[in-house]
């Protein structure tokens, strides 16, 4: 396996969710706290940065089949084309001013699964929502502290989810046709570990690549939970992994610079950078929202 390379030393406060767009042939990701949408063109090396309006916090996003994106924010779901205006869609927690939407992705029927969280305190006040293409939504489980790692096995029969604060990666049986989860169980218990499970990606063999916040690494797990591979980063706050490149053969990794002391920042000058590495296996395309 090759070594990790620095793609963009951008100093993101909370970089998250690297996703490859096969229409633009660019790698996209967000800075949750700044907030901003960003993209990188591997063919030219160009990095673009689209600042979002003040007062927003963007927790995740998905590409939209009809064009542009859907953003999950502290003010609900919004349609957005980078560089354009934000269009309000729906807010499942309009009565909870301290909550925000966080990590999420689309299943292979084009539904956007996204978890919410209390942003001001670490309390189990979050809920997992599924946004339908007609912009209706359903709730599926709650008492979430920080939702992350929303992803599916290649056959869509298993959904993964992590509550970062609780340090548990869970898996569910997933019914793709009906869009429901059942039989929640522990996939990996990281209680007591330094690192906490953050964002994840699935490769073509069904293995899950999980970023460990405060752990300084990305870990590849087999579908049965065995550790297969470890990628160490020169920063501690590793937030998410995602496959990109035209053949989905590059693993991109986002990181964060938030909450580091001056001493820690000096020791980690690349905190908040976007990294990349060839891990010898390819990813699978991320689905688009059909609404």
Terminal Cα-to-Cα distance of the chain (whole angstroms): 39
Secondary structure of 142-197 in the HEC alphabet? EEECCEEEEEECCCCCEEEEEECCCCEEEEEEEECCCCEEEEEEEEEECCCCCCEE
Instruction: List all residues 6 or more positions away from 36 whose beta carbon is below 8 Å from its beta carbon.
Output: 30, 49, 50, 51, 52, 58
Q: In terms of Cα–Cα distance, which of 14, 45, 10 is closest to 164? A: 14
Q: Do 131 and 111 contact (CB within 8 A), yes or no?
A: yes
Residue 121 structure tokens = 């305190």
CA 266 to CA 221: how far, in whole Å? 32
Report how far residue 203's alpha carbon sits from residue 225's, in angstroms, rounded to the nearest whole number.
Answer: 14
Distances (CA, A) of 115 to 54, 62, 105, 173: 22, 14, 10, 18
Q: What phi and psi values does residue 262 have, to the nearest 5 degrees?
A: -60, -40
d(CA 67, CA 79): 9
Q: Name the phi and psi angles at 33, rounded to 5.
A: -90, -20
* 12 among known catalytic residues: no
The active-site residue, picked from 12, 31, 107, 198, is 198
State the catalytic residues.
Answer: 198
């Amino acid at each position: 396996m090759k070594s990790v390379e620095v793609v963009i030393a951008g100093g993101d406060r909370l970089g998250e969710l690297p996703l490859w767009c096969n229409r633009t042939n660019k790698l996209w990701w967000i800075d949750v706290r700044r907030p901003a949408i960003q993209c990188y063109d591997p063919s030219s090396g160009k990095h673009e940065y689209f600042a979002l309006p003040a007062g927003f916090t963007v927790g995740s996003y998905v590409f939209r089949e009809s064009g542009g994106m859907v953003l999950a924010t502290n003010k609900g779901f919004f349609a957005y084309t980078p560089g354009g205006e934000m269009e309000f869609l729906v807010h499942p927690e309009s009565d909870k001013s301290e909550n925000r939407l966080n990590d999420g992705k689309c299943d292979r029927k084009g539904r956007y699964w996204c978890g919410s969280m209390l942003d001001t305190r670490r309390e189990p006040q979050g809920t997992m929502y599924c946004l339908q293409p007609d912009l209706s939504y359903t709730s599926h489980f709650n008492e979430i502290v920080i939702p992350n790692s929303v992803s599916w096995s290649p056959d869509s029969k298993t959904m993964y989810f992590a509550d970062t604060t609780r340090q548990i990666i869970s898996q569910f049986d997933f019914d793709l046709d009906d869009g429901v989860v059942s039989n929640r169980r522990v996939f990996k218990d990281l209680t007591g570990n330094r690192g906490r499970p953050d964002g994840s990606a699935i490769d073509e063999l069904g293995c899950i690549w999980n970023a460990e916040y405060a752990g300084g690494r990305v870990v590849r797990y087999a579908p049965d939970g065995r550790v297969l591979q470890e990628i160490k980063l020169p920063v501690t706050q590793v937030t998410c992994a995602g496959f990109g490149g035209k053949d989905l053969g590059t693993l991109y990794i986002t990181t964060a610079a938030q909450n580091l002391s001056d001493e820690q920042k000096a020791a980690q000058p690349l905190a908040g950078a976007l990294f990349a590495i060839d891990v010898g296996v390819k990813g699978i395309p991320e689905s688009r929202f059909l609404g």
